[in-house]
Amino acid sequence: MRQIEKTFGVVLRERREAKRLTQESLAEKAGLHPTYVGLVERGKRSPTLRVARALALALGTTLADLANSAEKELREPSE
């Protein structure tokens, strides 16, 4: 079974690209290191709630919204 950090990473990348932000600019907005944002997008890190929410706010949305999309992708994989 895919893990939540995998689908969260996919959702994060989609949302970032939809906003035409680079990993660097998203990282700066969220107060994180660009390398860390890349690791989260690739599902290599399971961020804490605090970090995941900082990323959500930097994208103009909520943690609940990103979690909902990530959990939906776990239930109904689009790929």
Question: Least distance in Å: CB of 42 to a copy of itself?
Answer: 14
Residue 27 or 51 having the CB closest to a copy of itself: 51
Please say whether the beta carbons of 30 and 37 come within 8 A: yes
Question: Least distance in Å: CB of 20 to a copy of itself?
Answer: 25
Of 79, 1, 10, 5, whose CA–CA distance to 49 is shortest? 5
Using CB under 8 A as the binding rule, whether residue 8 contacts a copy of itself is answered as yes
Please say whether the beta carbons of 63 and 70 come within 8 A: no
Question: Least distance in Å: CB of 13 to a copy of itself?
Answer: 15
